[in-house]
Every structure is written in structure tokens, then in C-alpha cells.
Amino acid sequence: MSKFAKFASILRQVTVLLVFGIAASLAADNGVVVTNGSGVTLKTKDVGAGVQMSQVGLSDSTGALIYGTAGISNANVVSIQGIASGTAVPISGSVSVTGTGAFNLSQVNGVSVATAASGIAKVGLTDSSGIGITSTGQALDINIKSGGTQLAGSTTSGSGGSLVMCATTTSAPVNTTAQNNFFSCDTSGAIRVTQNIVDPCQNPAQAKSSVAIGISSATTTQLVALSGSTVIYVCGYSLTISQVATTANTIKFQYGTGAVCGTGTTDLTGVIGAGGITAGPPIVLAVPPSATIFKTTAGQALCAITAIGASASFQGVLTYVQI
């Protein structure tokens, strides 16, 4: 081989080394272009060491890309559809759910969610220690509201507030001792209230009775008959006693049994009118029926015993309660 031929061979080898060495050291994206039969060019990415990776873009049937940039709306972005046997897609951060479709949650914060009826979200309550409230012993006190909240004294038509249950019955119920009970209402909607009033004459809910007094002789008159074991409470009376110039006309109240308190007779008052021994206008006595002034014992009648001078007239009315 001539010197010229050897020089040409060495020159070709050096040229090859320079070309391939420079190509490797100056590699860039799309450094390798592959063209298929339709004339479409595929993009590549230089990943170092002279390696070019093919870049593939997903598109729909029109050729539009089906991925987008986070935070920027893109109508071509497709949703992820899971399959029954697939692996769940992990999601971190806040999730916003829109639409009216069905959403199935199996866990919340790593805890399994119990199933509920279709269309109902089953929510579990816990106390301050994180213990689930699952029994009546752990139950919360709940104040049920009837349509919104209004301040006391609101003049808003139909305004709501705390719902208080009232049991409506035709008569007062017998409640169970040591248990919470409803308010008691009558059929008109009024709440029954029992006042702890010892004196029946002062009880506005207690009906009172009255009896007329009209006596003109010296006698014992039954005013109120006994009734079983009841007690007669005299609340008040209004009475006039005529006066004569000889012996005073007097009256006093007693109780006892029998038609005219003949058995077990006991005075309830002293003699009333003993000072009227001069002829003059009748003595007027008035005790308003505001409280009990005297009463019988149980199972007794109420009577009035009168004494007269030349003539007498005892006229009036007596108010009482017999219970």
C-alpha cells in the first residue's frame, strides 16, 4: 500500500471518530428522527448517555391531546374510570366533587364506613375522647328545633323555637316517679298546671260553693250536709243580724254528725251578735271569701245555732269548699 493510500485510510478513521464523538457530546432533544410510512415524525427526549427516548402523546379520535395543565380548564381531558379488580388511585390534598352522580366511600381517614340505605350518608358520632356513640348510655342530649330559631319576644308570624312535647289527654295523666315526663295538655291545647296551694279557698282552680242563710227563730240549722270523709272549708260569709231591745239575737257555727249536727257537736266560732241589745239597724258582718276562716273535721256537717230575743232575722250567704 502506498503512503498516500495509508494516509487516506487513517483520515477516514479520524473523521468517523470525530463525527460520532461530537454527535454523542452534542446530543439534544429530537436528536433521532424516526419517520413512519405516513410521514409522521415522532418526538424523542435525550435522557443522557446518547440514549433517545420516544415521546408519545395521547389524543382523542380527532387528534386533540387528552391531557392538560393542572389548574387550567381543558375540555379534552378525560376522566379516570376504575374497574372492580383494579388498584385504587391514590389522591392527596383537597378533593372537590361536583355533579349528581353516585359516590361510594369505603373509608374516611382510614376508618371503614358502615353502609346505609340507598341515597343516605351514614354518619357516626363520637364523644370528646373519640369513642363512638353507639348506645343509649353514651347518648347525646339533643334539642330538636321546630323550623328555625327566633329570639324570645319575636313578632314574626310562624316563628319557630325549641320543640317541647306536650301529651294531649282528656284528663290529667298519672306520671311515673323518677322519670322524665311530657307536659300535659288538655284537648283545647292548654297546659295543665297544678298549683301547690294548701288552702283550697285560695286556690283559683278550686270551684267554690255557697249556701243561703235565712233564719228567724232560735234553732239549729244545717247549712252544709256531710259527704263521706270530706272536709268543709268556710271561705267567708256575709250576714245581717236584727237587733231588739230585750235579749240579743246571736248566731254561732258548729259541726257534728246527724241531720242538725246533734252528735259530736263542736263549736267553730263564738257567739256572734251578743252586743246588739238595743233597738237599731241590723248588725252587718262581712268576711270576704279569700281564705279559710274555719273548717270542720272529716266527715262532718256544718250547722248554725241561733238564739233570739223578742224576734229575730238572720240573713246572708256563706261561701265554702267541700273536698
Tell me whether residue 103 is in a domain.
Answer: no
What was the pLDDT predicted at 159? 52
Judge whether 147 and 136 are in contact, CB under 8 Å: no
Q: Beta strand 145-146 with 111-112: parallel, antiparallel or unpaired?
A: unpaired
What was the pLDDT predicted at 44? 76
Tell me whether residue 243 is in a domain.
Answer: yes
Q: CB-based contacts of 323: which residues, under 8 Å, 6+ apart?
A: 200, 206, 230, 231, 233
Tell me whether residue 48 is in a domain.
Answer: no
Tell me whether residue 213 is in a domain.
Answer: yes
The pTM of this model reads 0.46
Q: CB-based contacts of 37: which residues, under 8 Å, 6+ apart?
A: none
Tell me whether residue 56 is in a domain.
Answer: no
What was the pLDDT predicted at 5? 57
Tell me whether residue 222 is in a domain.
Answer: yes
Domain span holding position 316: 201-322
Cell (9 digits) for 61: 379520535
Tell me whether residue 59 is in a domain.
Answer: no
Return the CATH number at 245: 2.60.120
Question: Taking the alpha carbons of 192, 196, 202, 207 in that order, is the dihedral positive or negative?
Answer: positive
What was the pLDDT predicted at 176? 79
What was the pLDDT predicted at 18? 42
Judge whether 281 and 176 are in contact, CB under 8 Å: no
pLDDT tens over the chain, length 323 residues: 555 555 555 555 544 444 444 444 444 666 555 555 555 566 777 777 777 777 667 777 777 777 777 777 777 766 666 566 666 666 666 667 676 666 666 666 666 666 555 555 566 677 777 777 766 666 666 655 555 554 444 555 555 555 567 888 898 888 878 777 778 889 898 888 876 778 999 998 899 999 999 999 999 999 999 999 999 999 999 999 998 877 889 999 999 998 899 999 999 999 998 876 677 888 999 999 999 999 999 999 999 999 988 788 999 999 999 99
Other CB atoms within a 10 A radius of the CB of residue 274 amount to 14
What was the pLDDT predicted at 295? 97
Q: In Å, how far are 62, 175, 181 from 178, measured between CA atoms?
A: 78, 9, 9
Tell me whether residue 7 is in a domain.
Answer: no
Report the domain count for the chain.
1
What was the pLDDT predicted at 103? 63
